[in-house]
Structure 1
Amino acid sequence: MGILFENNSFVNSAATQLAAVYSDASRSADCSNWSSWGPCVWPDDEKPVPYLQQITPVCQRHWFYVFVKRYNTALNNFYNYMKFVLRSPKPCGLCSYKQSCGFGGKKKCNTSPFTIEGGRPVIPFYVAERVCSAKDLGGESQVESCEVDYDQLKENGGECRLWPSPRVDLSMVEPAFRKHIDSLEWYSCIPQIKNFNIDGQVITEKVCRCCCFPFKPNPQTYQCEHIAGAPPAPGMEFLRKELRN
């Protein structure tokens, strides 16, 4: 799940993916060194930790996350919403990412481009991101699509409509960009009918199954699969075995 920058403004686009939407999310040789990969970021309802506090301390000092901090309230609102609608605390839907931050080098990778004498392009951010594999998640694959509350999403104005949601307060985001935020399509969801047999009585329930871009749920297996023609997710090459299963 991620963030976009446009005219130096912040735009929320998903759950944990922040740099990969507009910027090259790989480790560039422009930086003299890169931090170790951090933990996989996820809105865990059992052990709630705000988004920025899930980022490693060294990355929290990087200019990108210092800048993002000004939108901390919006980020946490979004995270609280995701915790509210998700039916499992485990990472799912290929939405959990980890980060690494670039430092030093001729481009002064960790320094804000707004403070460098003579300037520097805002993009790239010099933040690398990678979709988390089962190895990153203690052997638990996140290829299974997320199971999301059907009734809660219906309140957003359509079947399995995850976004936009009135539950997320974006009042602190620049008004000119709220319409753009609301129109972002960072997910793919489909309905699923589940049947349960309780004491001989069949109970039918509807849920939504969701994956984060660039993935979509398979309507038969409900596993996430790559959307044909979409760009690969950063780190997707490490998921080849999981995506084949």
Structure 2
Amino acid sequence: MSSKIKWKISACVLTFLAVFWFVSILSSCGKGANVSTASLNIKYEVLNLSPDVLPIDLYIRFLKTNNTPFRYSVNQGYFVVPYTDTPYLIRSNRINGGPAILSRSDILTRNAQYSLFITGTVADNSLKTIFTVDTAILPKVGRGKVRFVDASPSGINGLDVYANGTKAFSKIKYPTFSDFVELPIGNYDFQVYATGSSSVLTTLTNFQIDDGKLYTLYAYGYTTRPDSAAFNAAIITNK
């Protein structure tokens, strides 16, 4: 009788150990799938180009990821994303835990960089995002690569960009962007025009294109505004 009891106890112990081992295997598999984003080397930046959305925050896994809010026209640069789970939510910094203003569900890949441009206005319910992949095949030796993002609602009919007097981008309409184009290394003046117009909207002077670098030139703001929301342009160094 005692041997039967011992056998039953041993069987229960073995069953428990088998179940524990199986659960441990499942748990380790799950952890293996959730690879550290730091090891994936995925970088992200948010550019707030909406004059009336006010400071905003980025939420991933419903947690705020930034220490400093993203303010109008201020480029804080890239940061390593803490998680790749979607959606990515944009919320007002003024309303803690408030509803999402905008969201994205892009699939991010290893060793890549991304930019999220926030444009439009709250006043006329025209807020939108422009999402760009900031990695590309490197240019030939002695050249850099530049592309153009039209994030200005005033550029709805298209914008042209000249580099040292030569047209580099033509009819880029809001809210779209061009492919990267190669330019020889050197200093450049970039002039932005409304497509079909001979009047310069804005000029970026003496910008240096370096060997093997990638850049994004972007326009934002309004040609009808005389204040801080006036039409303007800036450049990001992507790589």
TM-score normalised according to structure 2 size: 0.25
User: Which one has the bigger helix percentage?
Assistant: 1
Which structure would you say has the larger Rg? Answer: 2
Q: Determine which structure has greater relative contact order: mean sequence separation of CA pairs < 8 Å that are 6+ residues apart, divided by chain length.
A: 1
TM-score normalised according to structure 1 size: 0.25
